[in-house]
Amino acid sequence: MSRKYQAHLTYPMNSNIFNLKISPITFAIVGGGFSGSLVAANLLRKVTMPLSIKLIERNSQVGRGVAYGTQVDCHLLNVPAGKMSAFPDEPNHFLNWLHQNGHKEVTASTFVPRKVYGDYVQATLKSAEDNARPDVCLEKIVDEAIAIETTTDSTTVYLSSGQRLHVQKVVLALGNLSATLPAPLTAVANSGYVKDAWMSDAFAQRCEALADLNPEDAILLVGTGLTMVDAVVALHQQGFKGQIHAVSRHGLMPQCHKPTTPYQVFIDVETAPKTARGLLHLVRQELQQAQDWRAVIDAIRPITQQLWQVLPFNEQKRFLRHVKAYWEVHRHRIATEIADILDAAIKSGQLMHYAGRVQSCRELANQVEVRIQERGTHKDITLQVKRIINCTGANCNYRRLQHPLIASLQEQRLIRPNALGMGIDTAANGALIDADGNASPMLYTLGTPRKGNLWETTAVPEIRVQAANLAQELLKSLQPKTYAAIGGDWLTENSLFTLRKPSMLFRQLFDKESSTYTYLIADSETKTAILVDPVLEQVERDLQILHELGLTLRYCLETHIHADHITGTDRLRLHTGCLGIVPEKTEASCVDRYIADGEILQLGSVEIKAIATPGHTNSHMAYLVNYTHLLTGDALFIRGCGRTDFQFGDAGLLYDAVTQKLFTLPDDTLVYPGHDYQGRTVSTIGEEKRWNPRFAGRSRSQFIELMNNLNLPMPKKMLEAVPANQHCGRVLMALDYQI
């Protein structure tokens, strides 16, 4: 499938008209299940220029994958319909689709069949395709990607059919890969007794396999999680009456959903324990006080990824070793209707589940003997079964995966398996991190492959946000090759851009002791510069950078009176003759100028707009640079915010400033905070609205209650820093401020 794209752009220059031919950028998405379909749908909905999308899926139907490919009617979603929208900014999208497509009886609390959700994903992708721009095309390729090669400016995807795709970006939407067969089962792996529950047509095969079973025959399910639940439900629908055994290391089974009342916020990323034991202890304390443990677990959900990321590596391993099994059965729950089927099977004695390990398998006449060592007692349990179904769940250990595409990526050092044995390492934007630790500009992923970095990343609420953010990230990179004739000479689009608009120089600098970011902003034409929130101890560094870049420092600009470091403004002013600027209403002397809310500071082609954001202090300012870069100071951090318990701070004012001013900016506005204590450098307004645990889902009163109960220690340098910063960083003698 191919199209020619041509856009005619008029641009006056010496009375000439430019006719630009634009070649479309091509993206490839490897995997057409839920993750891949959602990335494609977001691209189709948001793209504003020519684009070709290659959606590669080995099955003929896209949008279903393993989870939604089942045709078993009683395989239900594990989340109610009201929380299953494909788009985070349209919470009723799925419900509306259901009501428009013959499911008017469904409410927000209904657990819908998974095959219906598969229909929804397919319909969502088709709608996005039908409503896309005419110069945007989606090509669905029924094939399998087996290798990827990258060069400086392009990527080649090799398909099993022999076809090669030359693209600019690739998204690996691999979803859940086939489970690894436990070692003891390999002895009978080729006997026909063992089935893999993660095969795309597994449930159909399993039901056909029941035809030659007798009522007294038995089945063993290895694994007692959600995959086991699917197997039991499928067997129940087929009318199977035989014995069902299920075994896993802990023998735990998924818990049931029940309506809950939202629970009070009791955990914060910044103050949460940084050990698995400490987190477990904190949660257990809340469980003892709560009426329903489900509400407590749900209260952790918005910040689970952040809690995981701040845990040290050894504590993550400890969590996986001791807590993982208990977390998963309480966090990933099942519908009441499904729980009723399991309970009935257990009460009748049809379903027996064990905590233990499979020690050996031995093929007998027309059946298999399985020996299980029971957990705790170490007693042997011997079973004779007609079928063994591997329900151990998806395999996300990329070191052990036997997959040609994964092998190709590893051979070329394009991926780095996560050290926890879960998925691969990725940057915050989903870019793959290669074996040398570099983030790829061409290869991205989402969902299960990010499990080691994010932990909670396999459910729809997480994947839909990743898909939306990833589409936005990809679209930012669109730079089609364009050519224009000017007096017989051909210029690229980049040349035209240079003629139209000078670029802004933007640097983010860091002070390790106070975790403070200083921002250097300059106009590339005039070479005039401004430093925002300079640090006294870093003045020599800043002067060196100004010298190396040939810049003239015109201003030092403060977001507020800092309590954790002394500003470098006064020292820089002595060296460069720059002006010191602070927000209006600031109790400061020695300043050259005050800046007011809404005032624009012009620096050549660079515009810096002041936005009053009181709350951390009573005179705090954020600065919007060229309407794309937002310097938030201490008003808004990446997944956090500044404290409000000193310097006339006010939690209510901060909530209003962030939600009514900053959060009304476009979602793709870049957020550059004044501090970060986790090594994060940049976010977006859209991300913070969705994922910042201080604001997301909180009312004003809840935010105030949270901020008033942080009980943080005072900054170490406060007594020294505040008086000095009230004099633009001029360090006073001790006598001056102790009288």
Q: Quick check: 351 and 242 in contact, CB under 8 A?
A: no
Concerning whether 73 is annotated as a catalytic residue, the answer is no
**What percentage of the chain has pLDDT greater than the value 90?**
65
pLDDT band at residue 435 under the 50/70/90 scheme? very high
Q: Quick check: 231 and 206 in contact, CB under 8 A?
A: yes
pLDDT band at residue 559 under the 50/70/90 scheme? very high
pLDDT of residue 12: 36
pLDDT band at residue 267 under the 50/70/90 scheme? confident
pLDDT of residue 264: 83
Taking CA atoms, 71 is separated from 76, 104, 345, 569, in Å, by 11, 21, 22, 67
Q: Work out the widest C-alpha separation in the chain, in whole angstroms.
A: 95
pLDDT band at residue 735 under the 50/70/90 scheme? very low
pLDDT at residue 250 is higher than 80: yes
Concerning whether 403 is annotated as a catalytic residue, the answer is no
Give the range among 434-443, 595-604, 702-711, 728-737 with minimum mean pLDDT.
728-737
pLDDT band at residue 14 under the 50/70/90 scheme? very low
Concerning whether 562 is annotated as a catalytic residue, the answer is yes
Concerning whether 378 is annotated as a catalytic residue, the answer is no
What confidence tens digit (pLDDT) does each residue in 632-649 have? 999 999 999 999 998 889
Annotated active-site residue in 230, 533, 564, 570: 564
Annotated active-site residue in 236, 257, 353, 565: 565
pLDDT at residue 425 is higher than 60: yes
- What is the average pLDDT across 670-682? 93
pLDDT band at residue 197 under the 50/70/90 scheme? low
Ramachandran region of residue 575, left (φ > 0), alpha (ψ -120 to 50) or beta? alpha
pLDDT band at residue 739 under the 50/70/90 scheme? very low
For every residue of 64-112, DSSP letters joined together read: -TTTT----TT-B-SS-GGG--SSTT-TTHHHHHHHHTT-TT--TT---
SS3 137: strand
Q: Quick check: 393 and 197 in contact, CB under 8 A?
A: no
Annotated active-site residue in 511, 634, 650, 676: 634
Q: Quick check: 662 and 632 in contact, CB under 8 A?
A: yes
What confidence tens digit (pLDDT) does each residue in 25-53 have? 899 999 999 999 999 999 999 998 889 99
pLDDT of residue 433: 95
At CA 630, angle to CA 304 and CA 529, rounded to 5? 135
Taking CA atoms, 63 is separated from 67, 83, 158, 214, 702, in Å, by 10, 18, 22, 37, 39
DSSP one-letter code for 616: S
Mean residue pLDDT of the chain comes to: 86
pLDDT at residue 492 is higher than 50: no
Q: What are phi and psi of 306, to 5 degrees?
A: -65, -40
Nearest to 36 by CA among 127, 172, 131: 172
- What is the average pLDDT across 146-155? 86
Annotated active-site residue in 353, 616, 620, 629: 616
SS3 687: helix
Residue showing tokens 């279903």: 64
pLDDT band at residue 203 under the 50/70/90 scheme? very low
Hey, how many other C-beta atoms are within 10 angstroms of the C-beta on 90? 11
Give the range among 21-25, 266-270, 400-404 with minimum mean pLDDT.
21-25
Token code pair at residue 163: 């076809």
Taking CA atoms, 434 is separated from 68, 449, 710, in Å, by 32, 14, 39
Concerning whether 281 is annotated as a catalytic residue, the answer is no
Over its C-alpha atoms, the chain yields an Rg (Å, rounded) of: 29
pLDDT at residue 13 is higher than 60: no
What confidence tens digit (pLDDT) does each residue in 305-321 have? 999 999 999 999 999 99
Concerning whether 560 is annotated as a catalytic residue, the answer is yes
pLDDT of residue 24: 63
Q: What are phi and psi of 466, to 5 degrees?
A: -60, -40
End-to-end Cα distance, the chain: 81
* pTM listed for this prediction: 0.64
- For residues 490 and 614, which has the higher predicted lDDT (pLDDT)? 614
Concerning whether 166 is annotated as a catalytic residue, the answer is no
Give the range among 289-303, 475-489, 611-625 with minimum mean pLDDT.
475-489
Annotated active-site residue in 236, 560, 620, 629: 560
pLDDT at residue 576 is higher than 70: yes
- In terms of Cβ atoms closer than 10 Å to its own Cβ (0-12, 13-18, 19+), residue 537 is middle
